[in-house]
Amino acid sequence: MGKIIAITNQKGGVGKTTTSVNLASSLSYLGKRVLLVDVDHQANATTYMGINRANLKYTVADIFHETVNIRDIIQKVESVAVDMIPARYELGNIENSLINHDNKDFILSNALEQVKDDYDYVIIDCPPSLGVVTINALMASDSVIIPVQCEFLALDGLTQLLNTIRMIQTKQKYNKKTLTIEGVLLTMLDTRSNIGYEVINEVKTYFKEKVFKTVIPRNVKVSVAPSFGLPVTEFSPRSKGSQSYQNLAREMVELNERA
Ligand SMILES: Nc1ncnc2c1ncn2[C@@H]1O[C@H](COP(=O)(O)OP(=O)(O)OP(=O)(O)O)[C@@H](O)[C@H]1O
Ligand SMILES: [Mg+2]
pLDDT at 30: 98
Is residue 197, in this structure, part of any structural domain at all? Answer: yes
Is residue 193, in this structure, part of any structural domain at all? Answer: yes
Is residue 258, in this structure, part of any structural domain at all? Answer: no
Q: Say if ligand 1 is within 6 A of residue 2 CB.
A: no
> d(Cα 197, Cα 215) in Å, to the nearest integer?
11
**Residue having the nearest C-alpha atom to atom 9 of ligand 1:** 15
Range of the domain at 20: 3-252
Per-residue pLDDT averaged across 150-155, rounded? Answer: 90
Is residue 257, in this structure, part of any structural domain at all? Answer: no
Is residue 259, in this structure, part of any structural domain at all? Answer: no
Is residue 79, in this structure, part of any structural domain at all? Answer: yes
The structure's pTM equals 0.98
State yes or no: pLDDT of 259 exceeds 80: no
Q: What torsion, rounded to 10 degrees, do the Cα atoms 225, 226, 229, 230 define? A: 40
Share of the chain above pLDDT 70, in %: 100
Give the largest Cα separation in the chain, rounded: 51
What CATH number did the domain enclosing 137 receive?
Answer: 3.40.50.300
pLDDT at 258: 86
pLDDT at 43: 97
Q: How many domains does the chain have?
A: 1
In the predicted model, what is the mean pLDDT of the chain? 96
> In the structure, what pLDDT confidence band is assigned to residue 1 with cuts at 50, 70 and 90?
confident
Q: Say if ligand 1 is within 6 A of residue 40 CB.
A: yes
pLDDT tens digits for range 28-64: 999 999 999 999 999 999 999 999 999 899 999 999 9
Per-residue pLDDT averaged across 134-139, rounded? Answer: 98
Q: Say if ligand 1 is within 6 A of residue 227 CB.
A: no
pLDDT at 173: 87
State yes or no: pLDDT of 2 exceeds 90: yes
Q: Say if ligand 1 is within 6 A of residue 8 CB.
A: no
State yes or no: pLDDT of 13 exceeds 80: yes
Which amino acid type is present at position 133?
Answer: V
Per-residue pLDDT averaged across 146-156, rounded? Answer: 93
Is residue 131, in this structure, part of any structural domain at all? Answer: yes
**Residue having the nearest C-alpha atom to atom 14 of ligand 1:** 13
Give residue 24 CA to ligand 2 midpoint distance, Å: 14
Q: Say if ligand 1 is within 6 A of residue 38 CB.
A: no
pLDDT tens digits for range 111-136: 999 999 999 999 999 999 999 999 99
Q: Apex CA 48: angle with CA 47 and CA 54, to 5°? A: 15
pLDDT tens digits for range 231-243: 999 999 999 999 9
Ligand 1 atom at minimum distance from 12 CA: 25
Give residue 161 CA to ligand 2 midpoint distance, Å: 16
Per-residue pLDDT averaged across 196-214, rounded? Answer: 96
